[in-house]
Structure 1
Amino acid sequence: MHHDSPRTRWERRAEMPLTVASLTFLGSYAALVLAPRFGTAWDDLWLGLLLACWALFAVDYAMRWRLSGQGTRFVRTHWLDTLVLILPLLRPLRIVRIYESLERRRGLPRLPLYARVIAYSGLATLLMGFTGALAVYQQERGAPASHMQTFGDAVWWACSTLSTVGYGDVVPVTTGGRIIAAAMMAGGLALLGAVTGSFSSWLLQVFAREEDEERPPGGTPGA
């Protein structure tokens, strides 16, 4: 009889709470940036929720580190989880795992690999674009010579950055905004490469299947 490891049991229990924490983090951050109420209980509430979510992520990271038995090697082999813990911009990306979690709980068949890559990359792009727009708008609004006077400007900038187009009509001018821009550019290139590679693989499979169907039964190449 197969027995789950303590780490597997912990990850299964923590999966949904962490997904809720990711959604809460994103909502609280959006409220803090888009509807700030300085010096009020509302801002204290959003900040409290952000800190509580971060604490939950930190507890999960520490538990998985301890249960892995890998020591410091865990940090290197789980570099994405480490980045998610350190960088607030990446924390909502945990939401990407919710579909796979529901699949396992309901016993649904998994999507083909290329379909999963495209679906997850698309969702990750939307999340990164939205959180990136929030982060850069928080840095840029009110800055001298800023190009981002509204959140719509920040969303337009995020779209052009993630798509690697980079029109240059809206650019960050603060140091914090440029650091976020560098992370967004790197993420956009990685996601674009993943989607392009998976789509190309899917096309190759389709063409190969069509050739097999058109080949006459018992036929030989060059006959």
Structure 2
Amino acid sequence: MHEDSPEARWAERTEVALFAASLLFMATYATRVLATGLPPVWRDLCGLVLLALWLLFAADYVVRWRLSGQHWWRFVLTHVVTTVSVVLPLLRPLRMVPLYEVLQKKRGEPRLALYARVISYAGLSTLLLGFAGSLAVYQQERGAPGATMRTFGDAVWWACSTLSTVGYGDITPVTPLGRTIAAGMMAGGLALLGAVTGSFSSWLLQTFTREGDEKPPGR
């Protein structure tokens, strides 16, 4: 996406507002899941807010696609994070990287180094994926026959062990949708762990190589 393209200008105008909307979506969803004693009218209101925000994200997706001038399949392939954030709105805050670049551009500040961006993005993505996955799985497992995940604390513990690829097995999803979410979190955990490990290893290798080149030749 070129910086002077219509899509880039649209993103620059809307990215901050949409990021705030994504945080509101997550807060509303968390309230709907965790506040078990919420009156029906407030639960219905939360549902309406979630639907309105999802429609907002979908409308933004359509506008970006139209402004890009690409065929829909090519747009999907070149905007994976945007597509995922529409299908799974809880992951919409993953667009923190475009938001960061928009803010840096407005301020005229230099971007962080690639390694710092990858590690920061992967770390924040892990926290987001863990929290969103805990909410989604807890909503499915709560009250299910034979469920071992009885509290939200159990869900958070399960998410930590899953994303870290440890997998103690003391708490496991029993519902079909819960297991589907678990499979996605396993794949996400492996990808994020690999990204952090690879970036950190590459940074160490580059640092040691540079220090070796700067060392004066031995006598």
- Asked if these proteins are the same fold (TM beyond 0.5), I'd say yes
1:144/1:12 Cα in 2 relative to 1: closer, same or farther (>3 Å)? Answer: same
2:44 — aligned with what?
44
2:110 — aligned with what?
109
Amino acid at match of 1:184: M
Q: In the TM superposition, what are the counterparts of 1:78-157 in structure 2 within 5 Å?
A: 78-157=79-158
TM normalised by structure 2 equals: 0.92
Amino acid at match of 1:174: T
User: For structure 2, which runs of at least 5 residues remain unmatched after alignment?
Assistant: none
Separation in structure 2 between the aligned mates of residue 26 and residue 3 of structure 1, nearest angstrom: 30
1:30/1:96 Cα in 2 relative to 1: closer, same or farther (>3 Å)? Answer: farther
1:110/1:95 Cα in 2 relative to 1: closer, same or farther (>3 Å)? Answer: closer
Separation in structure 1 between the aligned mates of residue 97 and residue 180 of structure 2, nearest angstrom: 24
Separation in structure 2 between the aligned mates of residue 3 and residue 100 of structure 1, nearest angstrom: 11
Amino acid at match of 2:141: E
SS at match of 1:167: coil
Separation in structure 2 between the aligned mates of residue 103 and residue 164 of structure 1, nearest angstrom: 34
1:106/1:211 Cα in 2 relative to 1: closer, same or farther (>3 Å)? Answer: same
Q: In the TM superposition, what are the counterparts of 1:3-82 in structure 2 within 5 Å?
A: 4-37=4-37, 40-72=40-72, 73-82=74-83
Distance apart, 1:82 and its partner CA: 1.7
Distance apart, 1:214 and its partner CA: 2.0
The answer to whether the Cα contact below 8 Å between 1:25 and 1:53 also exists between their aligned partners in 2 is yes
The answer to whether the Cα contact below 8 Å between 2:119 and 2:199 also exists between their aligned partners in 1 is yes
Separation in structure 2 between the aligned mates of residue 3 and residue 141 of structure 1, nearest angstrom: 46
Distance apart, 1:148 and its partner CA: 0.8
Separation in structure 2 between the aligned mates of residue 54 and residue 92 of structure 1, nearest angstrom: 13
Separation in structure 2 between the aligned mates of residue 12 and residue 96 of structure 1, nearest angstrom: 13
1:184 — aligned with what?
185
Distance apart, 1:161 and its partner CA: 0.6
1:23/1:89 Cα in 2 relative to 1: closer, same or farther (>3 Å)? Answer: closer
Distance apart, 1:42 and its partner CA: 1.5
Q: Quick one: percent identity of the two aligned structures?
A: 66
Separation in structure 2 between the aligned mates of residue 76 and residue 202 of structure 1, nearest angstrom: 29
The answer to whether the Cα contact below 8 Å between 2:22 and 2:90 also exists between their aligned partners in 1 is no
2:198 — aligned with what?
197
Distance apart, 1:165 and its partner CA: 0.8
Distance apart, 1:96 and its partner CA: 4.8
Separation in structure 1 between the aligned mates of residue 3 and residue 193 of structure 2, nearest angstrom: 39
Distance apart, 1:114 and its partner CA: 0.7
SS at match of 1:178: helix
1:69/1:213 Cα in 2 relative to 1: closer, same or farther (>3 Å)? Answer: same
The answer to whether the Cα contact below 8 Å between 1:125 and 1:162 also exists between their aligned partners in 2 is yes
- How many residue pairs match? The answer is 217
Distance apart, 1:9 and its partner CA: 1.3
Distance apart, 1:86 and its partner CA: 1.2
SS at match of 1:70: coil
Distance apart, 1:215 and its partner CA: 2.8
Separation in structure 1 between the aligned mates of residue 77 and residue 20 of structure 2, nearest angstrom: 27
Distance apart, 1:83 and its partner CA: 2.0
